[in-house]
Amino acid sequence: MFKKILIANRGEIACRVAATARRMGIKTVAVYSDADAQAKHVQVCDEAVHIGGSAPKDSYLRWERILQAAKDTGAQAVHPGYGFLSENEEFAKACAAAGLVFIGPPAAAILAMGLKAQSKQLMEKAGVPLVPGYHAADQDPALLQREADSMGYPVLIKASAGGGGKGMRIVEATADFADALASCKREAINSFGDDAVLVEKYVQRPRHIEIQVFGDTHGNCVYLFERDCSVQRRHQKVLEEAPAPGMTEALRKQMGEAAVAAAKAVNYVGAGTVEFIVEQTGYDQPESMKFYFMEMNTRLQVEHPVTEAITGLDLVEWQLRVASGEPLPLKQEQLRIHGHAIEARICAENPDNNFLPVTGSLQVYRKPVCSSFERGDVRVDDGVREGDSISPFYDSMVAKLIVHGDTRAQALARLDEALSQTRIVGLTTNVQFLRHIIRTDSFATAKLDTALIQREEKALFAQEPLGLALTAAAVVANTLHHERTLKDGDPFSSRDGWRAYGVATRKFGFVFHGASYAAVLTYAHDASLQLCVADADGDVSGTLAYREDGDALHISFAGQHTRVQVFHHREGHEDVAHVFAPQGATRITVVDALAHAGEVQEAGGRLTAPMPGKVVSFSVKAGDIVKAGQPLAVMEAMKMEHTIAAPTDGEVLELLFAPGDQVAEGEELLKLKV
């Protein structure tokens, strides 16, 4: 077994690999960029080496620096994690040339499966079912258009060297094909250095089911069952679970054996995932499901913890043992499924704004109560700590929350409870959106396909779990509790409402979902607190009562009772209160009337960058007349392209940046006369 390994990655996967290595008595070396100098993965490893600038191309993709770091620290092997260089056959070759063990498959297997078109040709020879499509080398746009037209729409364009949803577009009509193809090729060249694409028939009502495979250098290969990854946005996974709901034993065996055949066709070694698209005629007809090979990911997957949870195995340990020359620890007949596991990806993004990624600081980051790795009832894999920042240089994932139960229903209940205990303040996340998903009828009853989010749109977006009255009451109660806690014993400086005569009142101003409201608190002579909240539907009045409940408050107002935690966060000049309760979380702006005296709101004419990133292109020029919703520009941020549309009708007066320019969040991109 190795004595020291270098982890050629960052974030939660670097921390995950380091945890298993530490348990096995293996020393670890981290590498880091300028942006990651104080990152968690740097702290949890035994050694760390700086390898360059913040952008991946200046650090995590510079394999010569990584190999030098391994040589300088005496590492014997390199674990690539996932992303970055994990599926780069040239890096695998370079490791071998440097006398280092690459903890992954042979370079030949990476090459064979790395290009989607060639891999599908290989699978066709191996007898693995394929979706009808064009997988050849000729990339003439006119030819690709003709192939798409002959298949019939919708079709799916995918980067041949791609993964993670990048360089992928669904095209509904022939008129949209050229623009979608150009966008795919741009995103592919930026992400993978290769703009080749393939075109396939888009399968209707599809499920995304993948098989975890593992091979060794002794000719053994097994499958560790399946994961359902159907719930996706932007072709990227949101929730993953194992085993796949509704899977029959016959289909599981058939898909597992097909995955092993695919792995053996390229002499696969180590952890890999064979991904299938599964066509279904009905949600409750598993016997009618047909599967087609999509691609093979020649690395450990983000969602590997759900497989670990249902098998009781540590897949990183298997990787290390196989890479050191040991045979697989178990044979196929020894593998068993225990219970059900679900993983939720917690990301820094705004689901209500087309899942736009966001950056910021984790001013509050509180995780749910976790069990041990071995038990795995509740587990959090992350690479951040409270106070850390989510930068624009890398992907938007904050953490992975994994739960396990004896049944799917129990796992669902544990996931909802764990999400309700998650507290993140300082940037927008998808935590509440995840809770909405798992509460839908579609997910709860396992009516799964990749269009679930669109199908359940009304139940998922712009949902308010608490309402104005309860949210305002929570903030008022928290303010009173805070004042009482901080008072210095001087009765005349205490804000407890005491008066020698008369009745004391206090007014609180709020902005809630863009509208202004007021709440009036009256300190009654009987020492009770009377609160009146001016709601859009009329005043809500009642006695406000609260008591300390651990690190939270239990409040009662207008017939509602709940336990809340309130965190205040400054956003510019505003005091934003974040309210967390079992029902969900919300935010409300606390207004100081004096703070806004004399402010003038700027009107019209500004179109600003919604996130930091790089300008890819403008589709308009000065003097153009545009309509609301018309695409104006394309930006690249967090490895994805984002289209910026006109918010209203108007005339373009001036473009303020050029393609290739970096822009900060909130910077004006162009002037628009409305």
CB 222 within 8 A of CB 331: yes
Are 300 and 236 a contacting pair, CB within 8 Å?
A: no
- What letter represents residue 435's amino acid? R
Q: Indicate if 606 belongs to the active site.
A: no
DSSP letters spanning 88-100: -HHHHHHHHHTT-
Question: How far apart (Å, rounded) are the C-alpha atoms in residues 148 and 27?
Answer: 52
Token reading at 310: 């249902």
DSSP class of residue 599? -
Cα–Cα dist 453/401, whole Å: 19
Distance between CA 105 and CA 102 in Å, rounded? 8
H-run or E-run covering 10 = none
Phi/psi-derived region of residue 328, left when phi > 0, alpha when psi is between -120 and 50, beta in every other case? beta
What are the distances in angstroms from CA 546 to CA 510, 563, 590, 619? Answer: 20, 9, 20, 56
Output the six-digit token pair for 441: 């009828």
Contact 116, 194 (CB under 8 A): no
Cβ-contact 296, 113 below 8 angstroms = yes
Exposed, middle or buried by CB within 10 Å (0-12, 13-18, 19+), for 622?
Answer: exposed
Find, among 626, 643, 628, 635, the residue nearest to 664 by Cα.
635
Of 62, 299, 345, 379, which one is the catalytic site residue?
299
Query: CA-to-CA distance for 504 and 438, rounded, in angstroms?
Result: 46
User: Reduced to 3 states, what is the DSSP secondary structure of residue 530?
Assistant: strand
SS (H, E, C) 314-339: CHHHHHHHHHCCCCCCCCHHHCCCCC
Do 199 and 134 contact (CB within 8 A), yes or no?
yes
> How far apart (Å, rounded) are the C-alpha atoms in residues 302 and 402?
11
- Cis peptide leading into 631, omega within 30 of 0? no
Encode 494-516: b = buried (16+ Cβ within 10 Å), e = exposed. Answer: eeebeeeeeeeebebebebeeee
The secondary structure of 45-71 as a DSSP string is SSEEEEEE-SSGGGTTT-HHHHHHHHH
**Are the C-beta atoms of residues 361 and 387 closer than 8 Å to each other?**
yes
155-159/133-134 β-pairing? unpaired
- Tokens 């450990």: give the residue: 300
Q: Which helix (H) or strand (E) holds 107?
A: helix 107-114
Task: Return phi, psi of residue 490, to 5°.
Answer: -80, 110
Nearest Cα to Cα of residue 240 among 253, 227, 259: 227
The amino acid occupying position 611 is M
What are the catalytic residues?
Answer: 299
